[in-house]
Amino acid sequence: MAEGNGYAAAMKRVGLIALMLALTAAAAPGPHSVTRTTAALEFSYEWPAEAVAIPALDLKLYSEAKAKLAEAQKNAAEDQAFARKQKREFHQHDFSGSWETAGQTPRLLSLQGGFGGYEGGAHPNGFSRALLWDRAQGRQVSVGSLFARAGDFVSLTRSIYCRMLDAERKEKREGETLGGEFDQCPKYSELTIVPADGNNNGRFDTIDIIADAYVAGPYVEGDYDVEVPVTSALIAALKPDYRASFEAQRQ
């Protein structure tokens, strides 16, 4: 009887654990989105569950989505009225924004955003963005602020980024040079800089640096996404609190 009671108790514990896991999974937040479709506008703005799980960040992105929606509705309505006045065909406007998780650690959440829109021009316009959230500070931070000394991030990554960008441009252009600004290395202020976790093990191993169309090349070339590897020297330059969030990539 004692053995039977022990088995029953064990099975009861297993059942309780399974129930707790099921409830936890059910309570886990999903992605959020703001969408709107009218004759004048097709609008979509979404962000992932990892961001939804942080109330302050969820509110920040929701507020931004509402502001973008209001701006897009205003622009579409004005263009629609102008088209009617000019007696020309109106083409529905479009705006889409999507944040995706590039990687996360216990301390940091890194998001990469892709945004695009059409307002009746020759072609759609698109751009990228980055958002790095510090859970301990409860706010958005910059990549540069993770380092002990100002300027360390640029000095440790600039030369390798420019070399890797030139290699990608050379391959895409089949060895040709365009001359002027499209052969120069863009300023970091013109780029989207995203810490990323390529193997999803909870530590960042690359710094993805994105040059949108027109930044490193003409529109027809699209964007350039260069993955700069994290090195031991880069980790050593970080503030101590952030070093555990990164790992050196094997060379």
* DSSP string computed for 4-29: HHHHHHHHHHHHHHHHHHHHHHHHS-
Q: Is the dihedral of CA 97, 102, 105, 107 positive or negative?
A: negative
The pLDDT of residue 178 is 83
The pLDDT of residue 179 is 80
Query: What is the distance between the alpha carbons of residues 190 and 213, in angstroms, rounded to a whole number?
Result: 11
The single-letter code of the amino acid at 217 is G
The pLDDT of residue 75 is 92
Residue 222 φ/ψ region, left for φ over 0, alpha for ψ in the -120 to 50 degree band, beta for the rest: left
The predicted model scores a pTM of 0.83
The pLDDT of residue 5 is 54
The pLDDT of residue 22 is 39
Characterize 201-226 residue by residue with b for buried, 16 or more Cβ atoms within 10 angstroms of its Cβ, and e for exposed. eebbbbbbbbbbbebbbeeebebbbb
DSSP assignment, residue 190? G
For 42-62, write each residue's pLDDT tens digit: 999 999 999 999 999 999 999
The pLDDT of residue 11 is 40
The pLDDT of residue 212 is 95
The pLDDT of residue 21 is 36
For 163-211, write each residue's pLDDT tens digit: 999 999 999 988 788 888 889 999 999 999 999 999 999 999 999 999 9
The 3-state secondary structure of 162-181 reads: HHHHHHHHHHHCCCCCCCHH
Token digits of residue 155: 């000095």
Q: Which helix (H) or strand (E) holds 47?
A: strand 41-47
DSSP assignment, residue 92? -
Intervals of the chain under pLDDT 70: 1-28, 120-123, 250-251
The pLDDT of residue 6 is 52
